[in-house]
Amino acid sequence: MGATLAVHAEGLVKHYRSRAGVVEAVRGVDLMVEGGEVFGFLGPNGAGKSTTVRMLTTLLSITSGTARVAGVEVTHEPDAARRRIGVALQEAGLDPRQTGRELLVLQGRLFGLSTRDTSARAEELLELVELEEAADRQIKGYSGGMKRRLDLASALVHEPDVLFLDEPTTGLDPASRLTVWDELRRINRRGTTVFLTTQYLEEADQLCDRLAVIDGAAGSSGKGRPHSSRPSSASARERRATQRSTTCSSTRPDAAAAASPATSRRCRRDIRVGAGTARAP
C-alpha cells in the first residue's frame, strides 16, 4: 500500500541523546501523503517539523518507526530514497563563492547527469526560479530571497518525485513569498509531490491540498530538563487526539481560515480530523 504513497510514515520517533539527557523531539508521527499533492506540515517552534523532514529525507537516523518515501524505505535504502527526493532545508547551505549556475551544474553532475544534460537542466531551472540574470554572479551577492529560490532550484536538479521544503518562505518579503508560491504551484503542476513545512497559516491555506499539525512540544527524559508543552492552533479536541501516542494530527482548516481572511482554494474541502493520523479522506 505504501508503494503508491509519496510519503508513508508510521510511528516515527526521534530522540536526541546528549550528556544533558534525552530530548524527545518527535513522539510518534503517522503520515500518509498521496502522490501529486501539496501537503502542509504545520506546527509551532520546536514541535519537530525539521526533525521529521530530516528523518524522511535520510539526513537523520530514525529512533523508531518506519518511513517510506516514493515507495522506498528510507532506512534500508537511503541511496535509492535520495535519488527520488529533493530537499531544501530550513537553513540553506550554499557556498557563497560559487555562482548560481555553478551550484546547479555541480549538483547535476553529482546526481550523474551528463555535462550536456546538466547544462540544459541548470538553464531550465534558472528560468523557473527567475535567476537567469544573476546566474553567473557569486552567491554571496544574492539577496535572501534569491538564495532561497536558488536552493529550491538545486533541490530540483534531478527531477525528484517528492520535494521536501522546510519553511521555504520564512524571512522573505511578501513579493518574494508570492514568487516562491508561484514556483511551487508550477513545480507541483509538473507532477512533483510537495511536502511543505510552514508556520504561516495563510501559506498552507493558499498552497496545500491537505495539511497536518504537529502539536507535540519536545519533552526530555533522563537527566534532561523538561520542556514545557507549547500551545498550538489546534483545537482542544485535536489536542486531545495528540495526547494519546502521536504528535501529529490532521486538522480541519478552520483555524487557518480564521487567521487568514483569504478563502482557501483547496484545503477546506479536503481535510478532516483523524486520530493522530493525516490521511486522505
Ligand X SMILES: Nc1ncnc2c1ncn2[C@@H]1O[C@H](COP(=O)(O)OP(=O)(O)OP(=O)(O)O)[C@@H](O)[C@H]1O
Contact residues: ligand X, CB under 6 A: 16, 23, 25, 43, 45-51, 90, 199, 218, 227
Which amino acid, one-letter code, is at 180?
V
46 binds, among ligand X, Mg ion, none (CB under 5 to 8 A by kind): ligand X
43 binds, among Mg ion, ligand X, none (CB under 5 to 8 A by kind): ligand X
Q: How far apart are the first and last CA of the chain?
A: 16
23 is in the binding site of which of ligand X, Mg ion, none (Cβ under 5 to 8 A by kind)?
ligand X
Residue 172 contact partner, candidates ligand X, Mg ion, none, CB within 5 to 8 A by sort of partner: none
Most distant CA pair in the chain, distance? 56
121 binds, among Mg ion, ligand X, none (CB under 5 to 8 A by kind): none
50 lies in the binding site for Mg ion (CB under 5 A): yes
The 3-state DSSP class for residue 59 equals coil
Written as nine digits, the cell of 271 is: 481535510
Looking at beta carbons only, is 23 or 184 nearer to ligand X?
23
Q: Rounded to the nearest whole angstrom, what is the least distance from the CB of residue 18 to ligand X in the complex?
A: 6
* 52 scored as a contact of Mg ion (CB under 5 A): no
Handedness of CA 176, 195, 120, 112 (dihedral sign): positive
Residue least distant from Mg ion (Cβ): 50
Residues 88-117 binding Mg ion (CB under 5 A) are 90
Q: Which is nearer to ligand X, 131 or 208 (CB)?
A: 208
| CA 250 – CA 243 distance, rounded (Å) | 13
Residue 25 interacts with which of Mg ion, ligand X, none, CB < 5 to 8 Å by class: ligand X
How many whole angstroms separate alpha carbon 205 and alpha carbon 262? 8
Percent helix, strand and coil across the chain, each rounded to 5? 35, 25, 40
Place of cell 505504501: 2
From the CB of 128, what's the least distance to ligand X, in Å? 26
CB-based contacts of 213, cutoff 8 Å, min separation 6: 42, 43, 232, 233, 234, 238, 248, 249, 250, 251
Q: Which is nearer to ligand X, 16 or 181 (CB)?
A: 16
Least distance between ligand X and beta carbon 228 (Å):
11
The residue ranges that bind Mg ion (CB under 5 A) are 49-50, 90
